[in-house]
Amino acid sequence: MQPDHKEGAGRASATAVADSQGSLPPTSPAVKPSAATPSAPSPTPSASAKTPTSVGGATSPRATTPAAPSSASKQKAPATSSLAGRIRPKSTRQGVATVYKAGVGDGACSYGPSDTMMIAAMNTTDYETSKACGAYVLVRAANGASVTVRITNECPLPCAPGQLDLSEQAFAKLVPISTGRIAITWSLLSPDTAGPISIRYKSGSSPYWCGIQAIGHRNPLAQLEVRSGSGWRQLARTDYNYFLSPNGSGCGGAIRITDIYGERLTINGIALRPDAVQPTQVQFTQH
């Protein structure tokens, strides 16, 4: 099977659309689980399928410092309105907030356990094949309460556009968990507390096939490229938030990431070490 193939996973029915005021259970539908590790590919450009695991059953990723310090450079990408996708800066969205049991905080974005549990699952429409992963959003309730959450998961259809499924810990910052569902507004943030970005190669990565993930980016990620020959090759993004090089091109070489504001970071010195979180020395500019 191809590396971005999904095995079928059960889906509970989702909550209603944003303007409904009916009484609902205190918990929302099961969110989309994170991708499990693929088996190691052979020396041909092939890889095994993504196997979902239940929310809360993930283990903490193994952190490994690269053999040599990474280096990076910054530049501005050509301006384009397509970089931001559906989640745009300086835009306030209306929707509903529901609540789910997030376990240790892992989810479809494949980040692993959360330290703070101030997290949320984005509805499938606004999730945009994991383009929402890592985004920080400020959620406001009608009672004046607010909470900042990081998108780490996907709330599958029929979750409505604009809907956020909050962890119990985050939902409780707005209203009692027993409320179950409330009207909200939310907007994108570019926080000032983010540390440096890290890079992780997916389990099973090799010079013949690899998946690459950026972790801890302040702003939503628009593109990930690898140096291939004398140029750059843009990798396709999966719904479990890895960028794949199916024939191994660029695996273990320089990596270039671009945020939705068009800022580019070129990162060198990241070793091809599967499932190791390797820190860089850079972060996107705050907006």
pLDDT at 193: 78
pLDDT at 157: 87
Instruction: Give the pLDDT confidence of 228-275 residue by residue, as tens digits.
Output: 988 999 999 999 999 999 999 999 999 999 999 999 999 999 999 999
Instruction: Give the pLDDT confidence of 95-104 residue by residue, as tens digits.
Output: 999 999 999 9
Instruction: Give the pLDDT confidence of 130-167 residue by residue, as tens digits.
Output: 999 999 999 999 999 999 999 999 999 889 999 999 99
**Which amino acid would we find at residue 248?**
G
11-44 burial, b at 16+ Cβ within 10 Å, e below that, comes to eeebbbebeeeeebeebbbbbbbbbbebeebeee
Given a cut of 90, is residue 64 above it in pLDDT?
no
Given a cut of 90, is residue 25 above it in pLDDT?
no
Cα separation of 104 and 102, whole Å?
6
Residue 93 forms beta bridges with which residues?
Answer: 186
Average pLDDT over residues 14-42: 41
pLDDT greater at residue 2 or residue 219: 219
Cα separation of 107 and 175, whole Å?
23
Given a cut of 80, is residue 8 above it in pLDDT?
no
253-269 burial, b at 16+ Cβ within 10 Å, e below that, comes to ebbbbbbbbbbbbbbbb
> Range with the lowest mean pLDDT among 22-26, 32-36, 57-61?
57-61
SS3 97: strand
Q: How far is CA 27 from CA 48, 115, 179, 183, 269, in A?
A: 34, 22, 9, 15, 44
SS3 184: strand
Given a cut of 90, is residue 110 above it in pLDDT?
yes
pLDDT at 216: 97
pLDDT at 35: 54
Instruction: Give the pLDDT confidence of 9-20 residue by residue, as tens digits.
Output: 333 333 333 333
Mean pLDDT of the chain: 81
